[in-house]
Structure 1
Amino acid sequence: MPSDKPKASRHTEIERKFAPSESAVSPSFEGLSSISRVERSPVQSLDAVYFDTPAHDLAAHRITLRRRTGGPDEGWHLKLPAGPDSRTEVRLPLGDGDPTSVPEDLRDVVLAIVRDRPLAPVARIETTRTVDLLIGPSGSPVAEFCDDEVTASTPANDDRQTWREWELELIGDTEPDEGAALLTRLANRLFDAGAETAGHGSKLAKVLDQARGEEPSPTPLEKPHPDPVHRAVAELVDELIVWDRAVRADAWDSVHQMRVVTRKIRSLLRASEESFGLTDDSWLLNELKELAGILGVARDAEVLAEKYDKAIDALPDELVRGPVRERLVEGGKRRYQAGWKRSLSAMRSERYFRLLDGLEALVAAEPSSATPGAEPAPPSLESSYGSVRKAAKKAKAAAKDPDVSPEERDEALHKIRKRAKQLRYTAAALGDDKVADRAKAIQSLLGDHQDSVVSRTHLLQEAVVAHAAGEDTFTYGVLFGKEAEVARDAEAQIEDALEKLKKAAGDG
């Protein structure tokens, strides 16, 4: 039975904010080839209540969440950063629910930030808005100029703040370069009229700054951490939060990318355990491994479905027999959906929240050292490279040993990939691009090999099921043979790739 629950809509908002001086005059847009006329809309009365955690975690990430009445787009609005001048706005109608309770659909979008902390009103902002629609030569609006008279207050401070603010927002579909140029031309008219660029990204940011007794100002640049690996981990933790949102929206390839970031963090932490005060059996490392494993279920299904779709398309019609596409491609899509839902379940758990808490605490802490007062030892490329060389030596021995099974040989090659991956991430963090590139080549090569191993195992399993159902299994054999070719090609190239890494690492 279909649900009557309203679905959230998403919009891209491209705008700039300005602070008009006391002597500012109404801007003129005459003479611009992109503007044919200006139409004034009726004055709007807007009343918005903004929500955040007690520590203002959303504001710290430049995110605003509000419930607004009045105006043509009244409702719940969640605004997320999406680049310079751009934000993604997620909207829900007001509904009949508790106006002080944030809808779960919106809370879930930012759950990696708010976690299990409460969301409550942090400000009320009332705006009297005068709107001018800027009409283009085609007769359609291309931009909107808003002249706002703002009154704001916070629950903790009854003193009402008032100010005047101008906004320019693009309307309609324009190419990015064209839109940026138009916004700049319009902004110049506001500067000519006596405005300056606003010193805040949102009205809420201004309210919270003034409530704390601070003048709104651009966020100062933080002093970079002296340890390059520490800096890299901090950046990756921020990236993890971004990919978390993409996974919740079921964006293409997002599960894969979130898994990659999770594994990067774990590799770098393992490469520099002393600096982070960790050990091999740290709960944080174990939780990252567990998360990567959960995400891997959906990732593998998505990769296999795409791989089989392309492979079947490339086969002559006479080689495609039976409902092979339904089993391999559509079945993969169904497994992806199941894996994605399992990932979401994990990402809504207290266990996941504590992992994120732990990662944030780790990057915020000062570097530790085994020796009191001493600087922590930087990660060693020599140690990481040594682990690759050791894994390669074992794989070479396994390839020559008749008593070693094919599965064991595949696993030996997979270990080279895992060691090369850790070397790549460490080298990249330390700025050794040559070693990082050579390690990446090995990782990619053996990634194709491992995907072939997983694919062939899956093909055998599906062929057994198809055979039991009385279906023709010929195509499964054809695809199996092609996957075996991929593995052989990777194995033929690995020795040369290892030799190039050896030279890049200065080994001999």
Structure 2
Amino acid sequence: MADSKREIERKYEATAETRLPDLSRVAGVSAVDHRGVTELDAVYYDTEDLRLAADSLTLRRRTGGSDAGWHLKFPVASGIRDELREPLSDTLPPSLAGLLRSRVRDGELVPVVRLRSARDVHHLLDAGGALLAEASTDTVRAERLTGGSGTAAWTEIEVELADDGDPAFLDAVERRLRKAGVRPSAAPSKLARALAETAPKPKKTPGRKGTHPTAGDHVLTYIRHQAEAIVALDPAVRRDLPDSVHQMRVATRRLRSALRSYGKILDRGVTDPVGDELKWLAAELGIDRDQEVLDARLCAGLDGLPSTLILGPVRSRLRIWSVARRGGSRRRTVGVLDTTRYLALLDSLDALLTAPPLLPAASKDPERALPRAVLKEYERLAARVGHALELPPGGDRNLAMHDARKAAKRARYAAEAAQPALGKPVKRFAKRMKALQTLLGDHQDSVVARDALRTLAVQAHAAGEPGFTWGLLYGREEATAAAGERELPEVWKRASRPRIRSAPAG
């Protein structure tokens, strides 16, 4: 795996005549160490249609300086990026290529811009000689290699926080720079500025003016956001970043749900095959995510017990069981993202958004077409909750409550898609659906936890270990599920029918 670091920096406009002010006057700075000028030569790679740049990713091969090599940067927030580094080589390292696969797919990475910079470096040091930040004045020459043939040149000041530094220190440096007349740069990165300043002049194309968004516009916007989220989360899942699998799975489910709920807007004859593939992807992601949720629940249950009630090697058995199951699911999840089936799904989503199979209802006003889908999902949910409440406690009720949970998610996602058009009533409805979904989800998690606890108890018994703690945890989960079942009628009562009106057909 590539080396990774969090890069926190700020950029400022400068000219060839600009000089750094005396930064030793910044609070906390005891000395400014001039490190001299370094020559840097970087070639930035992207697809010909600049898919990486569109998502603010940068991939470069740089020589010169102390960190020559391949650098891949992912945006985190304004001025903050995660940078992954690999040693210098002639070809792109596989570890970085994998992180770009969801965007590049069958495309080709080509050199798009070459940046040559003369970097005049100053280190800002504290009283103990430790590095606080690096301030540099960069004289940059940019050459367009693909998609144009222009050149550009500029000077900028860059201040990068030292590893594990306090971001507030950059505020103090900025105040000093501003006092000296130096202003923040409008460009988020050197690459973004180079692309902007060397791009061919765009041709003017007529656009829609003053048109009211249709029902189809709203649905497609929601679908596009979820598709983009899947692509954006792919590298995070590969890097095993916290909550990334969960967020990718949620985006997958939201997208599939929208395609089903809004079948009067988008032709399901076209979208159902895409939905089937989204269902497959969600199931594959669920193997890893479900284990993650289960681990957290079992550990929390164990942490909530007094030490006097933990008999036998309970923690070690739970840890070994968890690691064995999580390791396998983790490898499987990453493997799925490298399959041709997954990449074909991403291509299908692109095709769907490029040429959406819109039905006549898509051209209607959203206030006319969207409420029907939300109300239909509510009626589906009402039938499932009613069925669950009629059943006695036990396996059949557990299954019925799980089905109701899935219906609550679908109703919530339909409402989320319609919210920009239908406003507060649908927003309140989505919030109530989330509360219902949470209750039903906790019940289902308890069902799954009890199955796992029974398995662990059987293993412990076979090894001659006490089963008391496993039984105690099982009983607590049983009580949690029973409490949820008692609470369901009241939560359902609050999750009333959304107060939106659906215009009559015709």
Q: Does the pair score TM above 0.5?
A: yes
What percentage of aligned pairs have identical amino acids?
36
Q: Is the CA contact (8 Å cut-off) linking 1:385 and 1:505 kept in structure 2?
A: no
CA distance in 2, matches of 1:448, 1:279: 35
Q: Is the CA contact (8 Å cut-off) linking 2:38 and 2:118 kept in structure 1?
A: yes
Pairs within 5 Å for 1:347-362: 347-362=337-352
When residues 224 and 75 of structure 1 are mapped into structure 2, their CA distance, relative to the original with a 3 A threshold, is farther
CA distance in 2, matches of 1:71, 1:132: 14
2:409 matches 1:417: no
Q: Is the CA contact (8 Å cut-off) linking 1:29 and 1:189 kept in structure 2?
A: no
- Aligned residue for 1:43, secondary structure, equals strand
Matching residue's letter, 2:377: S
- Aligned residue for 1:44, secondary structure, equals strand
Shift of 1:371: 5.8
2:133 matches 1:143: yes
> Which residue does the alignment assign to 1:168?
159
56, 60, 68: which one aligns with 1:62: 56
CA distance in 2, matches of 1:235, 1:159: 33
2:382 matches 1:389: yes
Shift of 1:281: 7.1
Shift of 1:110: 2.5
Mean Cα displacement is larger for which, 139-148 or 379-388? 139-148
> Which residue does the alignment assign to 1:294?
284
Matching residue's letter, 1:314: G
2:208 matches 1:185: no
When residues 207 and 506 of structure 1 are mapped into structure 2, their CA distance, relative to the original with a 3 A threshold, is closer
CA distance in 1, matches of 2:437, 2:362: 37
When residues 467 and 302 of structure 1 are mapped into structure 2, their CA distance, relative to the original with a 3 A threshold, is same
When residues 390 and 250 of structure 1 are mapped into structure 2, their CA distance, relative to the original with a 3 A threshold, is same
Shift of 1:492: 0.4
When residues 117 and 160 of structure 1 are mapped into structure 2, their CA distance, relative to the original with a 3 A threshold, is same
Q: Is the CA contact (8 Å cut-off) linking 1:17 and 1:167 kept in structure 2?
A: yes
Q: Is the CA contact (8 Å cut-off) linking 1:305 and 1:330 kept in structure 2?
A: no
> Which residue does the alignment assign to 2:275?
285
CA distance in 2, matches of 1:433, 1:474: 46
CA distance in 2, matches of 1:448, 1:256: 16
> Which residue does the alignment assign to 1:231?
221
When residues 127 and 462 of structure 1 are mapped into structure 2, their CA distance, relative to the original with a 3 A threshold, is same
CA distance in 1, matches of 2:428, 2:236: 32
Matching residue's letter, 1:245: P
Matching residue's letter, 1:378: L
Q: Is the CA contact (8 Å cut-off) linking 2:415 and 2:427 kept in structure 1?
A: yes
When residues 277 and 212 of structure 1 are mapped into structure 2, their CA distance, relative to the original with a 3 A threshold, is farther
CA distance in 1, matches of 2:378, 2:20: 63
Pairs within 5 Å for 1:22-33: 24-29=17-22, 31-33=25-27
246, 257, 280: which one aligns with 1:256: 246
Q: Is the CA contact (8 Å cut-off) linking 2:42 and 2:115 kept in structure 1?
A: yes
193, 199, 212: which one aligns with 2:199: 212
Listed one character per residue, the Cα deviations across residues 405-444 of structure 1 (whole Å, up to 9, x for unaligned) are: x322211111111111111222233332221121111100
Q: Is the CA contact (8 Å cut-off) linking 1:28 and 1:189 kept in structure 2?
A: no
Shift of 1:493: 0.5
CA distance in 1, matches of 2:80, 2:408: 38
2:69 matches 1:89: no
- Aligned residue for 1:42, secondary structure, equals strand
Mean Cα displacement is larger for which, 253-262 or 278-287? 278-287
Matching residue's letter, 1:28: P
Q: Is the CA contact (8 Å cut-off) linking 1:52 and 1:122 kept in structure 2?
A: yes
Q: Is the CA contact (8 Å cut-off) linking 2:213 and 2:365 kept in structure 1?
A: no
CA distance in 1, matches of 2:474, 2:499: 37
Shift of 1:280: 9.1
Q: Is the CA contact (8 Å cut-off) linking 1:51 and 1:66 kept in structure 2?
A: yes
> Which residue does the alignment assign to 2:417?
429
> Which residue does the alignment assign to 1:398?
391
When residues 437 and 229 of structure 1 are mapped into structure 2, their CA distance, relative to the original with a 3 A threshold, is same
127, 140, 145: which one aligns with 2:117: 127
> Which residue does the alignment assign to 1:439?
433
CA distance in 2, matches of 1:232, 1:56: 23
Mean Cα displacement is larger for which, 135-144 or 112-121? 135-144
When residues 200 and 491 of structure 1 are mapped into structure 2, their CA distance, relative to the original with a 3 A threshold, is same
Q: Is the CA contact (8 Å cut-off) linking 2:26 and 2:172 kept in structure 1?
A: no
- Aligned residue for 2:188, secondary structure, equals coil
Q: Is the CA contact (8 Å cut-off) linking 1:384 and 1:419 kept in structure 2?
A: yes
Q: Is the CA contact (8 Å cut-off) linking 2:6 and 2:163 kept in structure 1?
A: no
CA distance in 2, matches of 1:148, 1:399: 72
68, 85, 95: which one aligns with 1:105: 95
Q: Which runs of 5+ in 2 are unaligned?
A: 203-208, 420-425, 502-506
Shift of 1:149: 2.2
- Aligned residue for 2:452, secondary structure, equals helix
RMSD over aligned CA atoms reads 2.9
CA distance in 2, matches of 1:123, 1:506: 52
Number of aligned residue pairs: 481
CA distance in 2, matches of 1:479, 1:152: 63
2:36 matches 1:46: no
CA distance in 2, matches of 1:289, 1:327: 33
Q: Is the CA contact (8 Å cut-off) linking 1:269 and 1:276 kept in structure 2?
A: yes
Q: Is the CA contact (8 Å cut-off) linking 2:409 and 2:434 kept in structure 1?
A: yes
2:323 matches 1:333: yes
- Aligned residue for 1:378, secondary structure, equals helix
> Which residue does the alignment assign to 1:403?
none
CA distance in 2, matches of 1:34, 1:172: 16
Mean Cα displacement is larger for which, 263-272 or 159-168? 159-168
Listed one character per residue, the Cα deviations across residues 56-82 of structure 1 (whole Å, up to 9, x for unaligned) are: 211111111111111111111111111
CA distance in 2, matches of 1:201, 1:140: 28
285, 289, 304: which one aligns with 2:294: 304
Listed one character per residue, the Cα deviations across residues 223-261 of structure 1 (whole Å, up to 9, x for unaligned) are: 996544433332233333333222211123322232222
2:447 matches 1:460: no
Shift of 1:468: 3.9
Normalised TM-score (structure 2): 0.86
Shift of 1:322: 3.8
- Aligned residue for 2:36, secondary structure, equals coil
Listed one character per residue, the Cα deviations across residues 320-359 of structure 1 (whole Å, up to 9, x for unaligned) are: 3444333333312321121111010001112111222222
CA distance in 2, matches of 1:159, 1:424: 49
Shift of 1:268: 2.3
CA distance in 1, matches of 2:497, 2:142: 64
Q: Which runs of 4+ in 1 moved over 6 A?
A: 222-225
When residues 271 and 172 of structure 1 are mapped into structure 2, their CA distance, relative to the original with a 3 A threshold, is same
> Which residue does the alignment assign to 1:407?
395
Shift of 1:370: 3.8
Listed one character per residue, the Cα deviations across residues 371-415 of structure 1 (whole Å, up to 9, x for unaligned) are: 696568325221111111111122223339xxxxx3222111111
> Which residue does the alignment assign to 1:198?
185
Normalised TM-score (structure 1): 0.86
When residues 506 and 395 of structure 1 are mapped into structure 2, their CA distance, relative to the original with a 3 A threshold, is farther
Matching residue's letter, 1:313: D
